[in-house]
Structure 1
Amino acid sequence: MNQRDEQEFAEYFAAKRDSVRRTAYMLCGDWHKADDLAQTAFVALHRRWTKIRDRAATDAYVRKTLVRVSIDESRRPWRRERDTEVLPEPDVVADRLDDQVATRQDLIVALRQVPPRQRAVLVLRFFEGMDVSGAAKALGCSEGNVKSQTARGLANLREVLGEEVETNG
């Protein structure tokens, strides 16, 4: 890579690293894993930087890479193991969903219980604000698949949270 390309990549990285890391966190629910996912996505981008003709599509490339890496990592057997000192006790059911989902952390915990593909669709649609066609393009699947994964993901999220999840879209 020549010096101009390295400079362009460095500028892109500096501008996007925080937003990519936040998206990775929404996908996995752990800041350390989010750092790993974001790093893997940026390494993949760096490898292909000179081959990317349409720089406007770079965000989509990073997003797609991030989602794929997240799904791949969730399939690895050692990623499913979780150490804990105390066994989780069932929480007392709150009267309203907004009482249950009082903090972002509660939502992240609930999202981690949704299967990876459905979680990816929910993050792209509701956190990233993508429409059905944009999410389908980012995931490399059909719009119908995105719609069904969204419905299943919301149903799973509702089940985990115990009440209706309101979506504005």
Structure 2
Amino acid sequence: MKAAQEESFREFVEGSWHRLLRTAYLLTGDHGAAEDLVQTALMRTYRHWGRIEDYEAPEAYVRRVMVNVNISAWRRRKAVVHVVAEPPEPAAGAGDHQNTYAVRDELWRAVCAMSPRMRTAFVLRYFEDLTEAEVATAMGCAVGTVKSQISRGLTKLRNDLQAEGSFR
């Protein structure tokens, strides 16, 4: 690879690493797996950087690679890991911040319990704030599929959180 392209890639990685890592964490639910996912996606992107750097949005390209790698990982995985640990009981007189973290933890556990495809659509739509069309492009599916996955995900979240008594 030419020195100018290598420098361009290095600058891209430095400028987008944290956003890509956040997306990967939301897709995988695990810090180690998220780092592996980003590194794998960047390694695959590096091989083609000469034609990608002129691409309108290289970060969208890398995000698409991350989604594809993550989908391949689900297909190979024999068992799905779900987070099941219950948060500790709040201390007597605990402030509102503890309740906020407890609700956030409960919401995150419910998101992690979604199917990988549903969680991917949900993360890209609501955590990454992509449009339905952008999510469909990143996932390689139709906009209608994204809409149905989001709808089912919201219904599942509502039901799971109401069953636990968090939201009424």
Cα distance in 2 for partners of 1:53, 1:89 equals: 45
Give, in angstroms, the shift of residue 76 of structure 1.
2.4
Assess if the C-alpha contact under 8 Å between 1:101 and 1:107 holds in 2: no
Structure 2 distance, partners of 1:45, 1:70, is 15
Tell me which moved more, 28-37 or 46-55: 46-55
Matched, 1:148 2:152: no
Cα distance, 1:80 vs structure 2? 2.7
- Bigger drift between 119-128 and 52-61 goes to 52-61
The alpha-carbon deviation at position 15 of structure 1 amounts to 0.6
1:23 match: 23
1:51 aligns with 2:51: yes
Distance 1:16 1:89, change over 3 A: closer
Instruction: Report the counterpart of residue 111 of structure 1 in structure 2.
Output: 111
Q: Which amino acid in the other structure matches residue 77 of structure 1?
A: R
Distance 2:43 2:142 in 1: 27
**Count of residues in correspondence between the two structures:** 157
Of all paired residues, the percent bearing the same amino acid is 38
Q: Residues 51 and 118 from structure 1, CA distance in 2 versus in 1: closer, same or farther, beyond 3 angstroms?
A: same
Matched, 1:66 2:66: yes
- Compute the TM-score of the two structures, normalised by the length of structure 1: 0.79
d(CA) in 2 for partners of 1:13, 1:53: 12
Q: Deviations over 1:63-118 (max 9, x none)?
A: 11111222222232356357x9xx856999xxxxxx58735443332221101111
Q: Give TM-score, length-normalised by structure 2.
A: 0.79
* SS of match in other structure, 2:117: helix
> Unpaired runs of 5+ in structure 1?
93-98
Contact kept, 8 Å, 1:121 with 1:149, in 2: the verdict is yes
Structure 2: which 5+ residue stretches go unaligned?
90-98
